[in-house]
Structure 1
Amino acid sequence: MNTPAFRSLHAPPRAALALCLALALPGAALAQDAPAAAAERVAAPPVLARMLRSTDAAETTQKLLTTAGARPLDTREAKLDLVVGVTTSKIWNPATSRYDTVELRSYQSPGTNPAIPFVAPTVVTAPGETVRIALKNDLKPEPDCAQPSINTPHCFNSTNLHSHGLWVSPTGNSDNVLLTLRPGVSFEYEYNLPADHPSGTFWYHPHLHGSTALQVSSGMAGALIVRGERLPSPLRNGDLDTLLREASNQPIPERLVMFQQVAYACRDGAGNIKTAPDGRWICDPKDVGRIDNYADQFGFGTWKKSGRYTSVNGVVLPTFTGLQAGRLERWRLLHAGVRDTVNLQLRELRSRSAVPAGLAGKALETWVEKNCTGPVLSQFEVASDGLTHGRMIEKRENVLQPGYRSDVLVAFPKPGRYCVIDAAAPASASVTQAAEDRQLLGFAEVTGLGEQIDTRALILRQLSASAERNMPADVLARVLADLRDGLKLSAFAPHRDIAEKDVVGTQKLEFNITKADEYQIDGKSYAPNQARDLVLGRTEEWHLTSLVGGHPFHIHVNPFQVAAIYDPSGKDVSETGEKDDPQYAGLRNTWKDTLFVKQGYRVVVRTRYERYIGEYVLHCHILDHEDRGMMQNVRMLVPDGKGGGILPGHQH
């Protein structure tokens, strides 16, 4: 964790260097034929994007005239070149103990890790900065990619870009997901982060209706981290980054942990997916796996049937290294998969257990049950979807739905080897509505002294000491009192609570899948010429339900605060959670941009429509559901002064 490459993740976005660089970190070794040792597969963080910043340039034509003469003008801009192309690499297959060759649509930029080119670079920025991403679509032309219905997946080589969770404009060349970039087209996106933008963990991925799931499943996704240096004051809250510091006043060590579900398949001469006798997908040594067909590579139960493994930073069954017993770390968890739930759990591995080799399916599940038997470690969640909580939420298991981010503080109590597992989730907790198999995600190698530690006490002690060193005198007492009162973080939450009395309107939304296999919101499949009208400046309450299946609700631009989650009996489970499913526990009053809506439940959230007008979308974040019609346009109107709204540019 102390390597220069890892520390570079903490570098401020405006460092005075010629370029903001990060060295390519060691990833999976690309063995050709021989089985690879587990030590080759390290859960290294994705490379940092090489971004040119205005303050970095040796020469600049922009000058600010002052009384002392002309000096360079800091435009607070960061620029990144990003190319969408096809890359060839390898993914470890535990079932065969060898690498499968894959050819995937990927983001490429200067510094992309050649060993794992399908993992996009991590963009690091700050409030008040403008991020320019020059996106070039270098995929092959598709002369005729039209479909009889817009909700039939199509145009797999056309794309665009979405900055998931950023609080920026949805129009023009900002976070505009209604744009289409055909092969051969270049386009520069411009994200103007306001000065009061929350710091946190966000991400980016394609969002063109019809091709989103296929491209994200191919690995087109990257983390986007907003770092903040704002200290709290009596008049405003600050950035959690200023509190999460060690005794040396360096940031607490971080790990970016990005989960992806790359559903590649190899085909026979007739175009059918090759399968083993048990039905799982297989690739022969000279085959090339691809993601090229919605009909048989996506849909209900497909991921489980495939036998593929959730990767961590592009590596299957990696080892987490550099961990020290009793040392607090911040893990930025990002579910960048398409459809299947991840239930993260950390458990000590039984001593003298051999690392499994050649096990898959039920055999590997049985191995996990017999060997990953230590106590479940607590994860203390400090933020979800990039937004700091008002208090930490202690979790023994962390249920992540597609699109979720979870920032957690973890500490391993003693040295040894630990299992990082996707624990079995009950049917009600899963997007597939079936109990998920427990699946090993990797191992954590922990060194250090054998002294047992209490993680909650460690967090209180370390963060209190950090507050004593760093917090201003006029907020110090408040910060310390909050920490002692159940690890509260009220001085760092980015948004004010929304009280019931503040609500002036109600919106209702219902997910459904019909017997005719139509994917709908409010009884209709996606129609680009229809929109839900909202009025800027209002505060409203949304009631979210699902008739068939569970669906992660995601809305662009404005996040929301959880008010209540009612189970089918009418009980609010947003604080206590449920006996067989922990995912709703502690969610009351938290802020999110993506939230799972179970079948038969009623989820109540509140949101403010602030600052940005224009048209954007809400949808289910099971991305093949979105591509097939489970999406709706949102049109934010300008107030008309009479309690209603008018379209921008229209004179009434």
Structure 2
Amino acid sequence: MVGSNRKSTTVARISRALVVLVIVGAAVALSRTMMGCGSGESSSAQTTEPSSFPQPQVLRSSHGVLSLTLRAKLATNKILGPAAPAMAAGATSDASNTMVVGTITGPTYDGKLTGPTLIVDPGDTLKIKLINDLPNNPPVTRTGMYPHEPYSTNLHTHGLEVSPEGNSDNVLRIMDPGTTNRVEIKIPKYHHAGTFWFHPHVHGAVTFQMMGGMAGMLIVRGGVGTVDDVKEVKAAKQIVMDFQVLHTTSANQVAYVNPTATQLGSSSPSAADGVWSAYLPPSNTYFTTNGVLNPTLHMRPGEVQRWRMLNAGSGETLLVALQNHPLYVLMNDGINVPNLLTLEAGTPYVMGAGQRVDLLVKAGPPGTYLLQCLSPTTSASVSPQGIAPAPRSSHISGDFPMPTYPITLATIVIDGKPEDMALPTENLPPPTGLPSISTMLDTTPNAVRNIAFELCGVMAGMAPPTARLPSCGWFLNKYDSNYWGGIPFTSLNMIRDADDTGVPSNPPNPSEPLINFQKEGLFDDNVPLFDDMIVNNFEEWTIVNKSFSDHVFHIHQNPFLVTQINGIALPVPEWHDSIIVPAATFPGAMVPITDPSVTFGSITFRTHFDPITVGTFVTHCHVLQHEDIGMMQRVDILPAPVAGARRQKVASMERHLHSVKK
């Protein structure tokens, strides 16, 4: 049976039943565990030797094509960690001398906790046969943007500048259970080298599928004249670090949403009325690296390695630091920086969900050092340049227990014969296929837009109208219980056009101070947020965060050049495809979001719409628990008007010139 290419509709595919997956085989009974990393794979997976650092299966393109099959299926995997006395009581050791600390049953690619690493070259074609062997979907009981269809899937190549149409990187495509689906993605010859990834993207099912481990890294190799060809970079051993945050219930299952939830997080443990109430304590959370807990990596003193890191968690922010070692930033989100950037020892690199970073790490004196995820209470910047540091609070849902920090992601053992390797000291080559930074800054934008992250609800002090944003009354009435299928749902997590300001109510109404907004606040796949985004145009966007939670802004297909954070200019603008928009701040004691002392967080960026990206895609918060209840918008890139074709050809030519300079 061939899968459907239809695009999802707003009403027909919109609700979930609470689905608790059945354990396959014997489960190891465990109380809630917060671990740092180890090895967890199905019985068919490779066994990790005690002295080795686990790496996912690698699939490389050949003769311009990478063909593979991915099978989405339920599977039970062991969660493995270091064999040490401190591990959970009653745990057993397996043949590879690692400790079985739990099991997880949930949706996977090919029955494994981590998908394969795909390696391609610019100009290659990625051909994937995606077989959906997941169970049939439960009946739909909720409507609107309530999470729905846990077992439908699709595939998104996060960060690639490729077509969003047809059977390419089309996230509005639905691949239902029992179908076989062809995906064919043509990577432009001028595409920049970098670290990207792939994962499912059916609205309403993403969190559930990602919490089971459905994700993998995707690497585009660079040729002569690219950053991959820099002598010191080329000499460095490459290590993939796919960080995942896996959640299970106390029965070791990845559970779907509560079909009768009335808000994002439960009002109390006894009420259990939140979307993810199945994960109220006792439950399990595992911070894994390449599917294992706290693996050990060996380095020689003075050795330089290139660590390709991915935050493939559903919503957790990772503040990554290596004890007693500086970190040297080579790439943000798969796009290299102009010059190697140094984070001093103890300063973390902040990774929002979906973000990647390529680091060069130079091993220090012999010893054992921990690669850690620091507490989100640590004051840190969303940029490695240190702009506007603050605690990194990301409110994914109060239903998930709070981890105990710091969390060990890996143990680094420095031993053996010293090897004094060099770090790059010269300017790094500009990324191929992108306009130069000077072009991005000097070109007058064709459009200037303002986007807002807004939260509305009745919990967290937002019940009084004076304590919530002036837009909330209108949108809470718009998205009433009828919208949600007859059950009220009071958590509105919106990303919307901030220039759609509404009008004052007349006569004044304190419950609805502003009315008649023209655009949607929640995702509607039938309507684009803007109707005038033209291919090859340059635009400037400011994303404002009107909440006390960090949100990860991500837009598909085209990267963006961040120029300001909280209104502060970056010394060196940074390319990203995902970045945390800082939470609103306030001095002193907690106040409502409407208090005059509150300062909203923001980022400002420039972007250019590549010709290959004409079509329909989305922008959203990459905290997937937010995205899955509607914090997403459709965006369309339209073909160029004939009258402007000659001028628009200039920007397109510059992208191609970067690639031929190799």
User: TM-score, with normalisation over the residues of structure 1?
Assistant: 0.69
Deviation at 1:538, TM superposition (A): 0.9
Deviation at 1:546, TM superposition (A): 1.3
Distance 1:491 1:527, change over 3 A: closer
What does the per-residue CA deviation read over 1:161-205, in whole Å, with 9 as the maximum and x for residues that have no partner? 000001100000000000011001111111100100011100000
**Residue 302 of structure 2 is aligned to residue 291 of structure 1:** no
**Residue 360 of structure 2 is aligned to residue 409 of structure 1:** yes
Distance 1:42 1:147, change over 3 A: farther
- Structure 1 residue aligned with 2:393: 430
Q: Distance between the aligned counterparts of 1:606 and 1:31, measured in 2?
A: 44
Q: Distance between the aligned counterparts of 1:632 and 1:448, measured in 2?
A: 52
**Residue 450 of structure 2 is aligned to residue 508 of structure 1:** yes
Checking the alignment, whether the CA contact within 8 Å between 2:315 and 2:622 is kept in structure 1 is yes
Q: Distance between the aligned counterparts of 1:391 and 1:402, measured in 2?
A: 25
Structure with larger RCO (C-alpha < 8 A, sep 6+): 2
Distance 1:626 1:303, change over 3 A: farther
AA partner of residue 637 (structure 2): M
Q: Distance between the aligned counterparts of 2:257 and 2:339, measured in 1?
A: 44
SS of the equivalent of 2:170 reads coil
**Residue 563 of structure 2 is aligned to residue 552 of structure 1:** no
- Structure 1 residue aligned with 2:246: 262
Q: Distance between the aligned counterparts of 1:435 and 1:141, measured in 2?
A: 33
Match of 1:330 among 306, 325, 350: 306
- Structure 2 residue aligned with 1:418: 369
- Structure 2 residue aligned with 1:79: 67
Q: Tell me, which stretches of 5 or more residues in structure 2 are unaligned?
A: 1-37, 82-86, 92-99, 262-271, 378-389, 397-401, 458-489, 497-519, 584-599, 646-662
Distance 1:510 1:299, change over 3 A: farther
Deviation at 1:251, TM superposition (A): 4.1
Q: Distance between the aligned counterparts of 1:340 and 1:303, measured in 2?
A: 16
**Residue 96 of structure 2 is aligned to residue 102 of structure 1:** no
- Structure 2 residue aligned with 1:67: none
Match of 1:518 among 460, 484, 492: 492
AA partner of residue 393 (structure 2): S
- Structure 2 residue aligned with 1:613: 614
SS of the equivalent of 2:209 reads helix
SS of the equivalent of 1:309 reads strand
- Structure 1 residue aligned with 2:120: 125
Q: Distance between the aligned counterparts of 2:40 and 2:316, measured in 1?
A: 27
Checking the alignment, whether the CA contact within 8 Å between 1:387 and 1:494 is kept in structure 2 is no
Q: Distance between the aligned counterparts of 1:432 and 1:151, measured in 2?
A: 19
Deviation at 1:119, TM superposition (A): 0.8
Mean alpha-carbon deviation: is it higher for 93-102 or for 431-440? 431-440
Q: Distance between the aligned counterparts of 2:41 and 2:605, measured in 1?
A: 46
Deviation at 1:50, TM superposition (A): 6.9
What does the per-residue CA deviation read over 1:111-148, in whole Å, with 9 as the maximum and x for residues that have no partner? xxx8xx12111111000101101101011122x44243
SS of the equivalent of 2:625 reads helix
- Structure 2 residue aligned with 1:65: none
Match of 1:443 among 400, 411, 418: 411
AA partner of residue 624 (structure 1): Q
What does the per-residue CA deviation read over 1:213-258, in whole Å, with 9 as the maximum and x for residues that have no partner? 1101110000001112132xxxxxxx21111457xxx642010011
- Structure 2 residue aligned with 1:536: 535
Distance 1:219 1:244, change over 3 A: farther
Q: Distance between the aligned counterparts of 1:601 and 1:301, measured in 2?
A: 32
Q: Distance between the aligned counterparts of 2:623 and 2:277, measured in 1?
A: 10
Deviation at 1:446, TM superposition (A): 1.4
Distance 1:301 1:134, change over 3 A: closer
AA partner of residue 388 (structure 1): N
Distance 1:325 1:557, change over 3 A: same
Distance 1:518 1:95, change over 3 A: farther
Q: Distance between the aligned counterparts of 1:31 and 1:491, measured in 2?
A: 41
Identity of aligned residues (%): 30
Match of 1:154 among 148, 155, 172: 148
- Structure 1 residue aligned with 2:339: 391
Deviation at 1:408, TM superposition (A): 0.6
- Structure 2 residue aligned with 1:138: 133
Match of 1:47 among 27, 32, 57: 57
Deviation at 1:559, TM superposition (A): 0.4
Distance 1:163 1:151, change over 3 A: same
Q: Distance between the aligned counterparts of 2:51 and 2:39, measured in 1?
A: 5
What does the per-residue CA deviation read over 1:511-565, in whole Å, with 9 as the maximum and x for residues that have no partner? 1121131111126111111112311121000010111121100000010001111
Q: Distance between the aligned counterparts of 1:299 and 1:429, measured in 2?
A: 22
Distance 1:494 1:245, change over 3 A: farther
**Residue 638 of structure 2 is aligned to residue 637 of structure 1:** yes
Deviation at 1:393, TM superposition (A): 1.6
Which residues of 2 match residues 141-540 of structure 1 at below 5 A? 141-142=136-137, 144-231=138-225, 239-245=226-232, 251-267=235-251, 288-293=252-257, 306=283, 308-321=285-298, 323-347=299-323, 375=324, 377-395=325-343, 396-426=347-377, 428-432=391-395, 437-449=405-417, 459-460=422-423, 463=424, 483-484=425-426, 488-492=427-431, 495=434, 496-497=436-437, 498-515=440-457, 516-522=490-496, 524-532=521-529, 533=531, 534-540=533-539
Deviation at 1:448, TM superposition (A): 2.4
Checking the alignment, whether the CA contact within 8 Å between 2:335 and 2:431 is kept in structure 1 is no
Q: Distance between the aligned counterparts of 1:509 and 1:381, measured in 2?
A: 29
Q: Distance between the aligned counterparts of 2:569 and 2:284, measured in 1?
A: 34
Distance 1:423 1:494, change over 3 A: farther
Checking the alignment, whether the CA contact within 8 Å between 2:41 and 2:113 is kept in structure 1 is no
AA partner of residue 88 (structure 1): T
SS of the equivalent of 2:236 reads coil
Distance 1:31 1:446, change over 3 A: farther
Checking the alignment, whether the CA contact within 8 Å between 1:39 and 1:319 is kept in structure 2 is no
Q: Distance between the aligned counterparts of 1:103 and 1:314, measured in 2?
A: 14
Q: Distance between the aligned counterparts of 1:148 and 1:31, measured in 2?
A: 34
- Structure 2 residue aligned with 1:273: none
SS of the equivalent of 2:541 reads strand
**Residue 578 of structure 2 is aligned to residue 594 of structure 1:** yes
What does the per-residue CA deviation read over 1:278-318, in whole Å, with 9 as the maximum and x for residues that have no partner? xxxxxxxxxx4333335679769969984523100000122
Distance 1:258 1:607, change over 3 A: same
Q: Distance between the aligned counterparts of 2:279 and 2:359, measured in 1?
A: 30
AA partner of residue 229 (structure 2): T
Checking the alignment, whether the CA contact within 8 Å between 1:229 and 1:242 is kept in structure 2 is yes
Distance 1:393 1:301, change over 3 A: farther
Distance 1:501 1:81, change over 3 A: closer
User: TM-score, with normalisation over the residues of structure 2?
Assistant: 0.68
Q: Distance between the aligned counterparts of 2:280 and 2:335, measured in 1?
A: 30
AA partner of residue 540 (structure 1): E
Checking the alignment, whether the CA contact within 8 Å between 1:41 and 1:318 is kept in structure 2 is no
